[in-house]
A = this chain, B = another copy of it.
Amino acid sequence: MPAMFLSPLTNHRSDEYGGSVENRARLIGELLEGTKEAVGDKAAVAIRFTPDEGYGPAGITPEVEGHAVVEMFAELPDLWDICMGGWEYDSGASRFDAEGYQEPFNAFAKTMTSKPVVGTGRFTSPDTMVSQIERGILDFIGAARPSIADPFLPWKIEEGRNEDIRECIGCNLCVASENIHAPIRCTQNPAAGEEWRRGWHPEEIAAKESEDNVLIVGAGPAGLECARALGQRGYTVHLVEADREIGGRVAFESTLPGLAEWGRVRDHRQGQIAKMKNVEVHTGSRLSADDVLNYGAEVVVLATGSSWRKDGAGFSNKSPIPGSDGANVFTPEDLRDGVNIEGPVVVFDDDHYYMGSVIAEKLRAEGNEVTLVTPLMAVSMWTDNIMERPRLIPQLLDKGIELVTDRNLANIGGNGVELACVYSGKTEHRACRSVVVVTSRLPDDGLYEELTKDPAKLEQAGINTLKAIGDSVSAGTIQTAVASGHRFARELDGPEIEDIPFRRERIALE
């Protein structure tokens, strides 16, 4: 409401509350004064102020209203909290905003007031935080998402354990939880939102209850977290990865445009595991079913991941897309493997999360003409939930990627595709040399299928527990994979815990 008075867009008054910026700001001053008076010495009074309305010079701008308000009421509140708006700018994803990105926006405040100033800006590492404090940009560090990823962040800094911090990757899945009306989830911290329901402490975990040796096949997000958590419990763990590098999908995805920080999912666990004498990591070793049976582990965990479908089936197409077996059709894994993809390229995104657009950006950066096609009304629809879409679409257009919406991929030929309007069914030809389909993934469950074929062999091999986790059960987000690995580690040796209802505080009716 005070912002509606401050904005020339909404304030059309002709009295002492309208017109000049001093008049438009008057209500803010009165609210501060009134609150100070009412509160007296009992509490400090803070003001959270967003000096940007996002409408350019027609609305509230940092230069005009922002500076004027802080200058006018500089010493009135006990704390200034300067934040960007709307939420998608204040809590930008790592794909768009670097750590500490709000500095040019909020640095002016401390030049105008002697009162402490707090600000945010996707602070994840102690170094950046300390730098802004030392250089006098801010007095307090605001960091909600990094505290979800690691609630013990301040303690770890205090104790000098910076290397133990689970650094936020800036994926905004926490925001998605809010937007899809679900309990909060965090890619880095599987305990987030499960502290009460499951009783998970983000740092503590029960000690092991057996001397079983554990073999984990696959060092992607699920396998890594499972190894880390079982290692913390004291189990002897062998984590065996087929690739030369650990990380699984994260090893690839963190090389894609804007997703570098996602590598922290791997890096944090790699760092923790490196400190554990009871966890061994072996790379470049693809285990067969016989290898697993002869490994000598009593507990076997399969975290073998998933693969993108090449046939284009998924959300909009229940059957393979005709022509998807052609030699000019590729999947994200082909980009991972360095396959040469000739432009012009059509990227068909029926996944609607980030992969379609980052593939398009990568191919475009390599100099190709790229068209991003979606059957939905906008590209990357699901990224609305992580507040990326409003930032993403201008970026794609700016990079010269053509966006085609409301069109399904009806057919793929050697020299182009047939696109069908999802409303009218009318088709149109679009010339291209290559097609990348980003539609859905299938679990890589071959090893699990083979090992479960003959339970007698498992018994013979002394394997008392065989469990598939993560994408190899059901392809999901990196968050679901990490959580799946964590859950197995929590529940090993305990009773099987079925899905339990979410608990919430209930206020009694009068």
Contact = CB atoms under 8 A, between A and B. Distances in A.
A58 B508 CA distance: 53
B394 A424 contact: yes
A58 B318 contact: yes
Interface string A383-408: 00000000001100110000001000
B503 A506 contact: no
A59 interface: yes
Contacts of A509: 503, 506
Contacts of A508: 506
A452 interface: no
Interface of A: 7, 9-10, 55, 58-59, 181, 318-319, 377-378, 393-394, 397-398, 405, 421, 423-424, 503, 506, 508-509
B377 A398 contact: no
Given A58-B319, A319-B58, A509-B506, A394 B423 contact: yes
A320 to B, nearest CB: 11
18 contacts: A9-B318, A9-B319, A10-B318, A55-B318, A58-B318, A58-B319, A59-B318, A181-B181, A377-B377, A377-B405, A393-B423, A394-B423, A394-B424, A397-B421, A397-B424, A405-B405, A503-B509, A506-B508
Interface secondary structure of A, over-half rule? loop
Contacts of A424: 394, 397-398
Contacts of A506: 506, 508-509
Given A59-B318, A503-B509, A506-B508, 7 more contacts: A7-B318, A181-B181, A377-B377, A394-B424, A397-B424, A405-B405, A506-B509
A179 to B, nearest CB: 12
A85 to B, nearest CB: 15
A9 B508 CA distance: 49
A220 B489 CA distance: 64
Contacts of A423: 393-394, 397
A2 to B, nearest CB: 17
Contacts of A59: 318
A177 to B, nearest CB: 15
7 tightest CB-CB pairs across the interface, nearest first?
Answer: A9-B318, A377-B378, A394-B423, A393-B423, A377-B377, A506-B506, A397-B424
Name which of A59, A503, A506 has the most chain B CB atoms within 10 A of its CB: A506
A163 to B, nearest CB: 40
Nearest to A7: B318
Name which of A7, A318, A397, A423 has the most chain B CB atoms within 10 A of its CB: A423
A393 B7 CA distance: 37
Contacts of A397: 421, 423-424
Nearest to A379: B377
A10 B318 CA distance: 7
A392 to B, nearest CB: 9
Contacts of A58: 318-319
Contacts of A318: 7, 9-10, 55, 58-59
A126 to B, nearest CB: 37
